[in-house]
Structures are given as C-alpha cells and as structure tokens.
Amino acid sequence: MFRVVIDEQCCKSCGLCVEFCPQSIIELSSDMNRAGYHPAVVISEQDCIGCQACVLMCPDVCIEIYRLKEKVATNA
C-alpha cells in the first residue's frame, strides 16, 4: 500500500499527474486553492501502485508517495 500526499496549495492545475497516472487515481478538484487553481486530489489511494509517475511529472514538486508498512499476520 502507498500513501499519496499532494500539497494542494502548491498545485497549479497543470494536470500532468492526472494524465500520466496509469491507475487514474488522481483528478483535479472542483474546489480552488488560495492561488485560484483547482488542485489535484487523490480519489482512490488504495489503487496506487507506487510507480511515482505523478511525482516525476509534477513540475512544481507538489506530490510525494510513501510506502506503508504492511501488517504481518501471525498465527497465535
């Protein structure tokens, strides 16, 4: 599992992350940020494969991806 963090105040609505996400988990919000842009938002984080295409394409470095630790099942 991965956590996608988008700095919505930094985003300028270029849409490159939306266009290049192979899982289509990012879209532009209908809300505006303080600068008057419609920032990118994550709509289905559970479908993220951690490819980092969005991170690499963001010209303003507004996106970070973190790998979440998976819980190991124990037979107790």
Element (H, E) at 9: none
Q: What CATH class does 2-67 carry?
A: alpha beta
Confidence (pLDDT) at 62: 98
The residues spanned by each domain of the chain are: 2-67
Confidence (pLDDT) at 33: 97
Q: pLDDT by residue for the chain (76 residues), tens digit each?
A: 999 999 999 999 999 999 999 999 999 999 999 999 999 999 999 999 999 999 999 999 999 999 998 777 677 5
C-alpha radius of gyration, the chain, whole number:
14
Confidence (pLDDT) at 71: 73
CB atoms within 10 A of CB 61: 9
Pull the structure tokens for residue 28: 């532009």
Pull the structure tokens for residue 23: 């899982």
